[in-house]
A and B are shown apart, each in its own frame.
Chain A
Amino acid sequence: MGELFGHLTFGADGWGDEIAAGLWLTVRLALVTLPFGLVIGFFIALAKNSEEPLLRTAANVYTTIFRGLPELLTLFIVYYGGQIALTQIVSFFYDGYVEVSGFVAGVIALGVVFSAFASEVFLGALRGIGPGQYEAGYALGLTRVKTLRLIIIPQLIRLALPGLSNLWMVLMKDTSLVSVIALDDLLRKTNIIVGVTKEPFFFYFIACMIYLTLSIISSIGITRINAWATRGEVNHP
């Protein structure tokens, strides 16, 4: 057992630095995807909440597709489809082959899936804010954008936070899928280490524990954000 843990040291004979590098990529991928998915999800929710039927229909098509497809399939479609599409576009100008960066494909695929689910959370939150709030904003002479920014969004954050926290947890786990398109995240680094050491159980278990630690750290952070977001509420016993 001690010998197994010896594998985890940093430096030339340990695998600690490889694991740390993989972990860093996983964290980076999740952190880059989050704002991307949140912004798109928010606008999709506004579109679904719109009075305009054309806009609602278009937004619902988006959600139906990306909530129904397996994340892995979305990733492949973005990665290979993006490659084929870009190569075709480029071929108008010169003969060449375009290679899509795995990181970008991962951010797009995960972000699109995240935004589809996040739009449902935002939509529920938007509907939880009564029309009186908008009317109060207009009565004060605020513009539509200012009403949204100063009155609606602060309440929206509080209402959407529980749903978004769940999605963040799902996103962190889903980052492991990029290991399939040869992106050196935590899980793929683990694959490589297992290939050399022939100790699959130990290293996959370590990887699981690292993901679990990320979840625990996230829940601590989310509890804090939630305390901040609900600071104006009276605590009912």
Chain B
Amino acid sequence: MTATTDATVVRPPAPKKGWTAARIGGAVWIALWMVIAFLAIRLAVTEYSTAFYLRYGPRILHGLLVTIQLVAISVTIGAVIAVPIALARGSRNPLIGALAYSYVYFFRGTPILAQTFLVYYGAGQFRETLEGLNLWWFFRDAFNCAVFTFALNTSAYQAEIYRGAIDSVPKGQTEAGEALGLSRWAIFKKIVAPQAMIIALRPLGNEIILMIKSSAIASIITVFDLMGETRLAFSRTYDFQVYLWAAVLYLSMVEILRRVWDRIEARLTRHMKRLGE
């Protein structure tokens, strides 16, 4: 490019002055959020009662712990189940491929609430069979049923994430491994999986966030997670601020996970960053 005179340089337009419609709209909207925040804080101050916090505070924090356990266990078990399903989805055997596809389609196409009911109430119906198999102790507990359902559910979503990530690794990478005489397992473990994990990372983080949100439905089958304790406290006190506290806790969980995930991603992709970037 040749040097241009000042007159022809394209500059970004200067911000508009005065009260444009967008600015008025934005100001009104921000004001609305502030009013809502003010009302929520006022509710917490005017309705403050030490007895309430002493009574329900520890219970709600315990519920928070249950939610974290529920999500952590489900996502971990789900990841273990998801890998073979992801591999089966890409299998050359059409029967195995079709089975894996139906599994994924069922769990992704039906509401998680209906799946939870199917497992929790359905297990009760097969009590004798389950007792015979010595499995009743597991399905008797609502928490276990929730973990069981959530793990199967998330495994279907995770299988799709891993499948997509494995497929997105260029074929040349596998061929290079074959040219070096590596076994199929070594190619997967040393070449494909590390690259696929980087691609799968972001959707996996989103899936965990969705799981945190979905875990609230465990409260419907009598698990006292964060949502369960909140509903209990509300039904006893009719104090609406418990819902606001639950909202704050859920939002914090999601936000913390999002930040941690950004850190993990930055760490794992640091070799892909250019100097000075």
Residues of A within 8 A of B (CB): 47, 50-59, 61, 64-65, 68-73, 76-77, 80-81, 84, 169, 173-177, 179-180, 187, 190-191, 194, 198-201, 204-205, 207-208, 211-212, 215-216
Contact = CB atoms under 8 A, between A and B. Distances in A.
A57 B217 CA distance: 31
A208 B25 contact: no
Given A70-B250, A173-B110, A191-B117, A200 B122 contact: yes
Contacts of A61: 33
Contacts, number: 141
B110 A55 contact: no
A191 B212 CA distance: 25
Contact of A212 (B15, B110, B117, B209): B110
A85 B33 CA distance: 16
B218 to A, nearest CB: 10
Contacts of B109: 169, 173, 211-212, 215-216
Contacts of A207: 114
5 tightest A-B contacts by CB? A54-B26, A55-B26, A200-B121, A58-B29, A70-B216
Contacts of B209: 68
Describe B's contact surface by its main secondary structure: helix
A29 to B, nearest CB: 13
Nearest to B20: A52
12 contacts: A52-B26, A55-B25, A55-B29, A58-B33, A70-B227, A72-B216, A175-B111, A201-B126, A205-B118, A211-B110, A212-B109, A215-B110
Interface of B: 15-16, 20, 22-23, 25-27, 29-30, 32-33, 105-106, 109-115, 117-118, 121-122, 124-126, 209, 212-217, 219-220, 227, 230-231, 234, 240, 243, 246-247, 250-251, 254-255
A19 B27 CA distance: 48
B247 to A, nearest CB: 6
Given A72-B227, A73-B227, A201 B111 contact: no
A187 B126 CA distance: 21
A191 B116 CA distance: 12
Contacts of B217: 70, 72, 177
A204 B214 CA distance: 19
A93 B125 CA distance: 53
A1 to B, nearest CB: 14
